[in-house]
Amino acid sequence: MDLDLRPSSMTRRQFVTSSAAVLALSSFTARAADAPLHQPQRAGSGPFRVIIDTDPGVDDALALLLAMRSPELKIEAITAVAGNVPLDLTLPNALRMVEIAGRTDIPVAAGARAPLVRRLVTAAYAHGENGLGGAVFPEPKTKPVAEPAAVLIRQIIGKFPGEVTLLTIGPLTNIATALNADPELAGMVRSLVMMGGSLSGGNITPAAEFNVYVDPEAARIVFQSGIPVTMVGLDVTRKTSLTEDHVRQLQAGQNPVSQAAATIARNAIEHNRERGFAVGPNMHDSLAVAGFIDPSLLQMKEYYVDVETAGELTAGETLGYSPNAGDLRRRPGMEKDATALNMAIRGSAPTLAGTRTSPVLRDKFVPNANVAMDVDSARFFNLLIGRLSGKY
């Protein structure tokens, strides 16, 4: 099911181009630029209302099972998007996980079949042709709800303003489509926790992480929306390689979730081995979900993050600006020096042929994202394997 909430008088490309420009300069970004980043602090054990936007996908499947086995989360909906494999596979894969977990009470919606302005690039090379590393499960009997994903997202957030966190573990097309359709929506989202991006190089190109690479325009809309973003990217997810021992622990679990997870994990490891990969598969998406359940698993740093959309070789790269990183880092006690915080965030230098000056994206440093910089991998796997196997 494709999403088309845009006026019929505009082409898809015209709408998204103009929307991205408006969002970049509108009150969304003014709010983000003028106010410090406040990541909501979670008191107690929840449950916390979440919508999971996903493109299952091996690690997505295990992330969904983890979420559905976690009492800290009240999953209001699961929305499928094209990414790791086409929507015709990600949607039934999401429905399969709901049935395996015994959570058919959770509405599942079909989302975008393609990125906002680009052709879909998939990752069957990593996830197998069916998205689950070749693991085969019965066709789901559960049907998706009638509402398209972006519509359902807007409905749920409108029903619970300020309460819903978006857990996005695929390309951000559905989220950007919802934001484009309702300029007030961003102000009603509690926070967004994404698996995506990287400040240390990509995994589909040297610059770009896959989820952002697939739809960089959507990712840029999200980062510029003013929603408090937590970015759980390759900087930490590369430290979460699934092992044979993890599979054995899952196989020892005596429940349908553990057995399904073991089957997916076993096939994913064999798929990687057959293709000569030295590591992995990494549990990218499961870490994003686990980091929301238990924030102490991750060490965070504030950045202003933007997305490269025009680069021939760097489209989808996430750039992290900080006045206290790299050669700009300050001595202890000087991190909040006025000179540092007044650092302008600039775009590319002007060309000799043009009259433009370097664009100033922000006249001073104000972070728009908390970026995960390190992870306690052992504790993460204790949580993941423990929940899936039924130990706790």
Supply the residues annotated as catalytic.
Answer: 284
Q: Two tokens at 214? A: 């697939």
**CB-based burial of residue 287 (10 Å sphere; 0-12 exposed, 13-18 middle, 19+ buried)?**
buried
Contacts of residue 11, Cβ cutoff 8 Å, sequence gap at least 6 = none
Q: Could you give the C-alpha distances from 276 to 63, 130, 209, 257, in angstroms and in order?
A: 25, 20, 20, 29
Nearest residue to 170 (alpha-carbon basis) of 117, 106, 127: 127
What count of other Cβ atoms lies within 10 Å of the Cβ of residue 383? 22
Residue 305 three-state SS: strand
| DSSP string for 118-132 | S-----HHHH-TTSS
Q: 77 near 153, Cβ under 8 Å?
A: yes
Tell me the C-alpha distance between 64 and 52, whole Å: 8
Q: Two tokens at 224? A: 């510029």
* Angle separating helix axes 284-293 and 58-68, nearest 10 degrees: 20
Q: Could you give the C-alpha distances from 142 to 94, 104, 148, 364, 365, in angstroms and in order?
A: 10, 7, 16, 50, 48
**CB-based burial of residue 305 (10 Å sphere; 0-12 exposed, 13-18 middle, 19+ buried)?**
buried
| DSSP string for 56-89 | --HHHHHHHHHHHT-TTEEEEEEEE-SSSS-HHH
